[in-house]
Amino acid sequence: MSPKHLEEMYDAVIVGAGAAGLSAALGLLRSPAMAELKANGTEPKVLVISKLQPLRSHTGSAEGGIAASLGNAEADDWRWHYYDTVKGGDWLVDQDAAKLLAQYAPETVVNLERQGVAFSRLDDGHIAQRRFGGHTRDYGKEPVKRAAYAADRIGHQILHTLWQQCVALGVRFAEEWYVTDLVLEDGADGADRRVAGVVALDTHSGQVKAVRARHVLLATGGAGRLFHTTSNSWDLTGDGMALALAAGLQLEDVEFVQFHPTGLAHTGILLSEAARAEGGVLRNKDGEAFMERYAPGHADLAARDVVSRSIMAEVDAGRGVADPKDPDGPRDCVWLDMTGIPAERMEGTLPQVVETIRAYADLDPAKDLVPVKPTAHYTMGGIPVDTDGAVYQWRDGARHTVEGLFAAGECSCVSVHGANRLGGNSLLDACLFGTRAGRAIAARIAEAPVAGEPDPTSADAVDQASRARGEQLAQLLAGADGANGAMDDNPYALMARLGGVMERAAAVRCDAASLAAALEELRGDLEPRAEVLRAHEGTAALNQEVTAIWEVRHLVELGEAVLVASDARHESRGSLKRTDFPERDDERFLAHSMTDASGAVSWQPVHIEDYPPQAREY
């Protein structure tokens, strides 16, 4: 007998409604396999669950562009894009995946345009393209205009377009449901584990839902909230990655977190790389355009890790500046000088950047210098997936697929970004590999169409998990009356503390001592405090503190994995700068770290196909 809160059986449940989740839904429903199924009268049951109303997903904040070698503004070639991606990722990139990324980028962008994305245009009507750090022509010779853009609001365009397409297709959304558990069960005949479904809190009603599914795709975005200074929105608490850890799965390369060089001081809000692509220059307190010294030839448009580290080096050398809003505060910023960009061009191509600077810093970029500092921006690592989005585990020197489980977008790691992502490559990753994962799920559904048929075994596993979660919810809501209720603590204070600890220990650079100290704080203080948090209000419906408690628990769990993986990698590569191991070490660490919740780290070799590792000269 099904309990009341047990949802029906879904063929596919997609968790997340950003570029990756929506692309997956469209890829699934529009695939030829689905058309055939529908023609035979079978309607697959698909549900997209999102903790936010879909249009509030972080994808909507993406500013600068999406990379593709369309060659509209200058000659370009997908092989150059492929090479730049591998090199930008400091050779930790799986080259089979990066090759697909570059090869299918033009098709992905054209498809977005056909669906309704209003790209900026060249005078001849073609999609306009701009320069972005690390994108070059002819294998590193000189910068190339590769990022297709829509003023500085590309993400807004993409998110709205994909969502409208989903609405037109009748995709079913469970909006403002918060997924709390990924439920796996043992596969048949001792095979590897397979997915059974998810548990979610419907935040409107306060009910816990048991959602059984034959296929689950996680597309929950990044985890910038691990750090105090971040460009990420409040929702990016790494839920999907933490759900995977809690389900006993490994994460790949989680030590690689990209710090974007130009966060507006001291808010962390992103000022797009487009500001430098359009002519903005970084200057130290003496007015020197210092990037030419660190990265001759590439200067302000060198790869992001290089620029972030150069800023920190200037600050360490005493050439930083204070935020004019806090003149006596720390001199931990440098200037972004946009005064050389013609005013009309600035308003036309960088409206978002200009508006942000005016609104949050009370400065006019046409005549004022703007204080900036590196801000946590992107998680390169995540849930390990193959190029069809299937989640796997690394064991005994081989990949073992978790039956029915998929992931895409920023929460996943197909390893196209390696140790450092190039600008414009993540929207591309989310759209392309999201679509591919959707199609792969469709093909599997078509192979064995049993839509709507409940599977009694999986019902047990999901039902059990949902009951346990329901009990935990009741305990959270019991407040001071509940056992060990910590009513003087709250999740927001813990999140702020965690952000500070992680920032001190691991932002832009780290060493064994900083990592060990942070791990001790997480394990000794933050984790036990997070465990006993209780909600201050006893109702389940629309109680945001409940989800915040689960989010901070997720962040702490993920933070531990990030610190453990950073500690295990005794080298510096891409975004990870170990001051105690300053060199890249290809002999030992040309490998992906695979970290689980127990703190065990194993190493998976990198797929090298066309480009053997070279020294990185900038």
Ligand X SMILES: Cc1cc2nc3c(=O)[nH]c(=O)nc-3n(C[C@H](O)[C@H](O)[C@H](O)COP(=O)(O)OP(=O)(O)OC[C@H]3O[C@@H](n4cnc5c(N)ncnc54)[C@H](O)[C@@H]3O)c2cc1C
| Active-site residue set | 304
Q: CB 199 → ligand X: shortest distance, Å?
A: 10
Answer yes or no whether residue 135 interacts with ligand X by CB under 6 A. no
Tell me the per-residue interface mask from 44 to 83 with ligand X, x by CB under 6 A, - otherwise: -----xxxx-x--xxx-xxxxxx-----------------
Task: Say if CB 208 and CB 199 are below 8 A apart.
Answer: yes
Q: Which of 119, 163, 178, 406 binds ligand X (CB under 6 A)?
A: 178
Single-letter residue type at 354: V
In the structure encoding, which two tokens stand for residue 181, read together? 């558990």
Task: Say if CB 29 and CB 185 are below 8 A apart.
Answer: no
d(CA 258, CA 253): 12
Q: CB 516 → ligand X: shortest distance, Å?
A: 30
Q: CB 571 → ligand X: shortest distance, Å?
A: 26
Q: CB 270 → ligand X: shortest distance, Å?
A: 4
178 versus 589: smaller Cβ distance to ligand X: 178
Answer yes or no whether residue 593 interacts with ligand X by CB under 6 A. no
Task: Say if CB 238 and CB 379 are below 8 A apart.
Answer: yes
Task: Say if CB 253 and CB 573 are below 8 A apart.
Answer: no
95 versus 220: smaller Cβ distance to ligand X: 220
d(CA 96, CA 351): 37
Tell me the per-residue interface mask from 378 to 397 with ligand X, x by CB under 6 A, - otherwise: x-------------------
In the structure encoding, which two tokens stand for residue 206, read together? 């306060």
Answer yes or no whether residue 24 interacts with ligand X by CB under 6 A. no
| Residues 6 or more apart in contact with residue 507 via CB below 8 angstroms | 227, 229, 259, 374, 376
Q: CB 379 → ligand X: shortest distance, Å?
A: 8
Task: Say if CB 63 and CB 269 are below 8 A apart.
Answer: no
Q: Which of 239, 323, 332, 567 binds ligand X (CB under 6 A)?
A: 239
210-229: which residues touch ligand X (CB under 6 A)? 219-222
Answer yes or no whether residue 445 interacts with ligand X by CB under 6 A. no
Q: Sign of torsion, CA 61 63 68 70?
A: positive
d(CA 497, CA 519): 13
**Interface region with ligand X, contact rule CB under 6 A, candidates 5-13, 76-84, 234-242, 595-603:** 234-242
In the structure encoding, which two tokens stand for residue 174, read together? 């469970």
Task: Say if CB 586 and CB 92 are below 8 A apart.
Answer: no
Tell me the per-residue interface mask from 254 to 283 with ligand X, x by CB under 6 A, - otherwise: ----------------x-------------
**How many CA within 13 A on the CB side of residue 470?**
14
Answer yes or no whether residue 155 interacts with ligand X by CB under 6 A. yes
| Residues 6 or more apart in contact with residue 491 via CB below 8 angstroms | 530, 533, 545, 548, 549, 551, 552
d(CA 321, CA 333): 5
17 versus 307: smaller Cβ distance to ligand X: 17
Answer yes or no whether residue 133 interacts with ligand X by CB under 6 A. no
**Residue carrying the six token digits 């009910």:** 207
Tell me the per-residue interface mask from 403 to 442 with ligand X, x by CB under 6 A, - otherwise: ------xx------------xxxxx--x------------
* Integer Rg of the chain from CA: 23
147 versus 518: smaller Cβ distance to ligand X: 147
Residues contributing to the site for ligand X (CB under 6 A) = 15-21, 49-52, 54, 57-59, 61-66, 154-155, 178-179, 219-222, 231-232, 235-236, 239, 270, 378, 409-410, 423-427, 430
